[in-house]
A and B are shown apart, each in its own frame.
Chain A
Amino acid sequence: MILSPARTKIDSLAKQDADLMVFGSAAVDITAQASDMDASLGKHSTSPGTVTTSLGGVGRNIAEAAHRVLAGTSSLLAHTTLLVSPVGNDGFGRLLAEETNRLGMRSDGLLVMESERSAVCNMVLDGTGNLIGGVADMGITETLPSDVVCKLFTSRPTLLNLPALLFQIARRLQIHRPKIVAADGNLSESSLKSIVQSCFEKNIPGAW
């Protein structure tokens, strides 16, 4: 399922602590706003307007906020926050990785799922900014498999069977135990369960 690291700097980051790990969704928001102020959007046709992308997803939002606060306090804390999110091997996934890097955040927690689509939330607004509708493709968040989460926390022998990325992350988790693990409620029940269980076993405080 998880085959390749997107654009990771595992080696250079391998020795850096991740005191705060946030498990959750990372999504691309595509907001389309019509430029016409009064007329409602015509159906069965396109309307002129603006289309912009930005990053979203509860887990990613939380990680970005924490990162901004910490990195703003001291440059030494710039790699303290690690966002662990599944992304697809697609353009949106690469956008997520690139933009995450551009924010100065580490992206080595983004797990590339070969057979899944990156989470995208598409919103259409009328000229005044009211939401008319949209499509949210967030299924990938549910797929963060619980056995992967489990393996991120558990010990050496089983790790040999894991892809390189997971092995690296898991190894880092062993060496640099996070002080706090946070998870967003959009993850599947089984993922949440394994995160809670792993934290409990390792006596890591969790934030939900």
Chain B
Amino acid sequence: MGLGSQFRMELEHLARLDACDSAQTKGKLSFLLDEGIAQMAVNLLPFFQHLILKAGEKGLFTVFRIPAAAARGSKWAYERTNIRERQVVAQGRDGGIVVLKHYPAVVLQPTEVVNVTGAGDCLVGAVLASLVRDPEAFHSPDSAATLIARAQQVNDKALSVWQSLTAGA
């Protein structure tokens, strides 16, 4: 992708953050680099435009690219790396934009969680529902944030009802 040392440095900054601001017990984001997750995701970008990684209580990590043709009209073109916003934005050599952004998990009380089975499937379903209505949802920071927030809502709802979806897989 032609991403340089600046990009690496910014990723290292991101990795120092807590996975969740309000609950330090969820650990750091260092696993993204230590386990090679961010590196693998970036390597997959030529084949998969958007990657959404579910990390359980450590939240969601999205890695996506906006091709050069769409980059100029995208609001991501005005976005910069902002560690507090948990995002790293890099300009590819070809004019495309690469975005890595972390979304912390929504904190639920243990008593609120009744059944975890199939909750991840619910999240995927909610993401697809958003993409059907707006296939370019990831092209703008606002619509991407809305998509993820909606998916997390559905996910949390799935966790807090006894029989939302079940296993069999």
Q: What 0/1 pattern do residues 122 to 134 of B give for CB contact below 8 A with A?
A: 1111111111110
| Chain A interface, number of residues (Cβ within 8 angstroms) | 40
A-side contacts of B163, CB under 8 Å:
54
Distance in angstroms between the alpha carbons of A80 and B125 in the assembled complex: 13
Distance in angstroms between the alpha carbons of A20 and B134 in the assembled complex: 12
Taking the complex as formed, is B169 at the interface, i.e. its CB lies under 8 A from any CB of chain A?
A: yes
Q: How far is the CB of B145 from chain A (nearest CB, A)?
A: 17
Distance in angstroms between the alpha carbons of A25 and B159 in the assembled complex: 21
> Assuming A121-B169, A138-B168, is B126 touching A69 (CB within 8 A)?
yes
Distance in angstroms between the alpha carbons of A63 and B132 in the assembled complex: 12
> Assuming A61-B125, A66-B128, A207-B128, is B167 touching A179 (CB within 8 A)?
no
Distance in angstroms between the alpha carbons of A150 and B127 in the assembled complex: 26
Q: Within the complex, which residue of B123, B128, B166 is in contact with A29, where a contact is CB–CB below 8 Å?
A: B166
Distance in angstroms between the alpha carbons of A61 and B167 in the assembled complex: 9
A-B contact count (CB 8 A): 100
Distance in angstroms between the alpha carbons of A25 and B169 in the assembled complex: 8
Contact, CB under 8 Å: A136 / B128: no
Which residues in chain A, 125-150, are within 8 Å of chain B measured between CB atoms?
136, 138
Query: A30 — nearest CB in chain B belongs to which residue?
Result: B168
Contact, CB under 8 Å: B154 / A69: yes
Q: Within the complex, which residue of B127, B132, B166 is in contact with A80, where a contact is CB–CB below 8 Å?
A: B132
| Chain B interface, number of residues (Cβ within 8 angstroms) | 25
Listed residue (B48, B123, B126, B128) with the most chain A CB atoms within 10 angstroms of its CB: B128
Distance in angstroms between the alpha carbons of A98 and B130 in the assembled complex: 27
Taking the complex as formed, is A169 at the interface, i.e. its CB lies under 8 A from any CB of chain B?
A: no
A-side contacts of B168, CB under 8 Å:
25, 27-29, 55-57, 119-121, 136, 138
Contact, CB under 8 Å: B132 / A179: yes
Contact, CB under 8 Å: B124 / A65: yes
Taking the complex as formed, is A70 at the interface, i.e. its CB lies under 8 A from any CB of chain B?
A: yes
B-side contacts of A136, CB under 8 Å:
168
Q: Within the complex, which residue of B125, B132, B133, B166 is in contact with A65, where a contact is CB–CB below 8 Å?
A: B125
Contact, CB under 8 Å: A27 / B169: yes
Q: How far is the CB of A75 from chain B (nearest CB, A)?
A: 15
Taking the complex as formed, is A182 at the interface, i.e. its CB lies under 8 A from any CB of chain B?
A: yes
A65-B129, A121-B167 known; 9 other A-B pairs, CB under 8 Å? A28-B168, A62-B125, A65-B154, A66-B128, A69-B150, A182-B124, A182-B128, A205-B131, A207-B128
